[in-house]
Amino acid sequence: MINNADRSLEKKLVYDLNQVKQQLDEMKANQANSIFIGTINTATVTISAGSYALFTYTLTPANNQVLSAISEFAIYLNSVSAANRYPDGANWSNEQKMIVESWLDQGVTDNKNLVFKLVIKNTDVGSVTVVVKQQWRSVGGVS
């Protein structure tokens, strides 16, 4: 037989468990997602001798969360293959030269969106066709 003291204790335990569940649910809602690996963006461009190409990639968070992310990229000559990968693929010669620079654009980045820029300058005497593959890796929710 359950007495009044046991019922009171049972009600308190149920109340406390509901409070803990509510706190856990709130923590889950406010917590950033796991590591996010974005889709691969691919672009192909022909760059004339002495010219450059600018690539801009933007990552936007879901729920206005602060992001921590990096942008990974690879450059290939003509098509995607290990032999065409810049700068160490077998199909790249010492005569083919490019300048590659990349950065997070702090002027338009507010930690709630990230803007990654990549510039490829062709310093070769002829035009070159490159394929750029880019992908984001982030901690936080993205849209």
**What average pLDDT score do residues 72-87 get?**
93
Encode pLDDT of 14-60 as tens digits. 888 888 888 777 666 655 556 677 889 999 999 999 999 999 998 88
Rounded CA gap, 62 and 95, in Å? 45
- Work out the mean pLDDT of the chain and round it to a whole number: 83
* More confident call, 75 vs 29: 75
CA-closest candidate to residue 118, choices 42, 65, 39, 36: 42
Rounded CA gap, 75 and 128, in Å? 12
- CATH number for 35-139 (one of 2.30.30, 2.60.40, 2.60.120, 1.10.760): it is 2.60.120
In the chain the first and final C-alpha atoms are separated, in Å, by 56
Bridge partners for 75 per DSSP: 132
Kindly list the domain boundaries of the chain, sorted by start residue. Answer: 1-31, 35-139
DSSP per position, the chain: ---HHHHHHHHHHHHHHHHHHHHHHHHHHHSPPSEEEPPPEEEEEEE-TT-EEEEEEEE-BGGG---EEEEEEEEEESS-SGGGBTTTSTT--TT--EEEEEEE-TTT--SSSEEEEEEEEE-SSS-EEEEEEEEEEEES-B-
Query: For position 1, what pLDDT does the model report?
Result: 59
**What average pLDDT score do residues 95-110 get?**
82
Query: For position 68, what pLDDT does the model report?
Result: 76
Rounded CA gap, 116 and 107, in Å? 11
pLDDT higher than 90, residue 75: yes
**What average pLDDT score do residues 81-102 get?**
88
